[in-house]
Amino acid sequence: MRGGRPAPEAVQTVAVVGTGVIGAGWAAHFLRMGYDVVAWDPGPGAADRLTAHVEYAWPALERLGLRPAASPDRLRFAGSLAEAAADAQFVQESAPEVLDVKIALLAEIDAVTPPDVVIGSSTSGFMMSDMAAQTKAPGRFVVGHPFNPPYLIPLVEIVGGRATDPVAVTWAEKFYTRAGKVCLTMHREVPGFVGNRLQEALWREALHMINSGQATVQQIDDSITHGPGLRWALMGPMLTFHLAGGQGGMAHMLDHFGPALLQPWTRLSAPELTPRLRDMVVAGVDESIGDVTVRHLERQRDDFLADLLLLIEKHRRA
């Protein structure tokens, strides 16, 4: 405990504020993890939609495995925001992605939530420094950005605002980890965080290609699902390019293919591949893989891709 705040592993009750697609997904996830979930949403019919969403998601969650005492019966829909927050030991906000709405709602949540409770926002791209502008206790507010559907995709991106207490960020990271998430904790605010900035770059180029007649919607989807998307599921773009360098790894890849950054392959301007940037990327890969050899990674990749291709074929036949 710190100033009345429960330890992350002691949390039993989570409030979910906003029960659209993301909020409902969070509710299903927290229920799977064995928490009591108190939800609130002012929209008409929100309670029925939330119950239906949890029922829909539950078979997949059962396949993944339920924590002890996990049950849809631990879901309760509150009649007011104050009721939802009253007994919460953590709050997950998932209101529409409109900055003015976020600012007003976070201020309301701040006013009715016990003072030591950490409050996370599911925002897709707003910075907490902006969203918490009208809160009285901005030190407890963090971004906890999930990926859809939150009950299946493990990643959550965590970052505080300028006024966020670093202790709250650390607490949130421990809580989300305890709640079964894979945490990417950022040290600096940036709109869109990491995953959405990368998704958005690809999305914008795809729209450019469709608009210019350079590719169709189907060609764009096929280029990812039958190509780099298969590799990214295991290793991500950086490690994938490390293997593109063969036994020389990322250093050889950058030295050999670096000039391609000057080619008009995308409408996004590339940074200059300075020696500093080159060395930062190589060092980052070395740090991430440790003593693992390229040959070992290639074997891991090939075994994974063979399994994945067979799984894809199974689902395409279904």
| Percent of the chain topping pLDDT 90 | 93
Flag whether pLDDT at 262 surpasses 90: no
In order of 136, 140, 161, 167, 264, the CA distances from 113 in angstroms are: 11, 11, 19, 18, 52
Q: What is the pLDDT of residues 301-311, one digit of tens each?
A: 999 999 999 99
Q: What is the pLDDT of residues 41-86, one digit of tens each?
A: 999 999 999 999 999 999 999 999 999 999 999 999 999 999 999 9
Q: Check whether the bond before 149 is cis (ω within 30° of 0).
A: yes
CA distance from start to end of the chain: 51
Q: Which of 57, 103, 109, 60 is nearest to 85 (CA)?
A: 109
CA–CA separation, 140 and 171 (whole Å): 10
Q: Report the pLDDT value the prediction gives residue 1, as an integer from 0 to 100.
A: 36
Query: What per-residue string of b and e applies to 134-161 under the rule 16 or more CB within 10 Å gives b?
Result: ebebbbbbbbbbbbebbbeeeebbbbbb
User: Per DSSP, which regions of the chain are E strands?
Assistant: 13-17, 36-40, 75-77, 90-93, 118-121, 141-146, 155-160, 182-185
Q: Report the pLDDT value the prediction gives residue 65, as an integer from 0 to 100.
A: 97
Q: What is the pLDDT of residues 226-243, one digit of tens each?
A: 999 999 999 999 999 999
The amino acid sitting at 113 is: T
CA–CA separation, 195 and 189 (whole Å): 13
Q: What is the pLDDT of residues 122-158, one digit of tens each?
A: 999 999 999 999 999 999 999 999 999 999 999 999 9
Instruction: Provide the whole-model pTM.
Output: 0.92
Q: Which of 273, 279, 246, 278 is nearest to 259 (CA)?
A: 273
22 neighbors 148 (Cβ within 8 angstroms): yes
Domains and CATH numbers, the chain: 8-185 (3.40.50.720), 227-317 (no CATH)
Query: In residues, how long is the chain?
Result: 318
> Torsion angle of alpha carbons 15, 20, 22, 25, nearest 10°?
70
